[in-house]
Amino acid sequence: MATEPLFVPFDLATVEPDDGGPDPARVVKGNPRTRTWLIEERDGDKIYSGIWEATPGTWRVVYDEWEYCTILSGVSILHQDGTEAPRILRAGDTFIIRPGFTGLWEVVETTRKTFVIHLP
């Protein structure tokens, strides 16, 4: 009987990335493209983890999910609706976005992050 490993490295060489982009109806500026390396899916597809990368551009975001992120490289700006001060995100920044967050995700320099998402 095979058992699944209890330690799972984020090894991009072993995962085929999914290329895409934000919904064109949500794009505000540019032509951002994304790549996602999905490392793990758990709990009946309610928990996802991996690495995400996006090229410059700006699009509207609406979070129904809970997400934990660490920026690995690049610069992005997160603009939350109803607030005046945007959040500048750089390598080393770690944060949580809770369900109900709406605003703009602006990629200034191609940004790469690790993520863990929990769907409701």
pLDDT digits (tens, 9 = 90+) for 84-112: 899 999 999 999 999 999 999 999 999 99
Cα atoms found within 13 Å of the Cα of residue 85, Cβ hemisphere only = 2
- Per the model's pLDDT, the better-predicted residue between 2 and 55 turns out to be 55
Residues with Cβ within 8 Å of residue 27, at least 6 apart in sequence? 21, 57, 58, 59
List beta partners, residue 67: 97, 117
Looking at residue 2, its pLDDT comes to: 63
Structural domain tally of the chain?
Answer: 1
Q: Would you say residue 118 lies in a domain?
A: no
Would you say how long the chain is, in residues? 120
Amino acid 45: pLDDT:
82
Q: Does the residue 100 lie in any domain?
A: yes
Residue 7 counted as domain residue: no
Four-CA torsion 28, 113, 38, 44, nearest 10 degrees:
-90
58-70 per-position pLDDT tens digit: 999 999 999 999 9
* E strands, the chain, in order: 18-20, 27-30, 34-42, 47-54, 57-62, 66-80, 87-90, 94-97, 102-118
| Residue 43 forms part of a structural domain | yes
Q: Which domain holds residue 63?
A: 24-111
CATH number, domain of 28, equals 2.60.120.10
The yes-or-no verdict on residue 52 having pLDDT over 60 is yes
Residue at 18 is within a domain: no
The reported pLDDT for the residue numbered 5 is 84
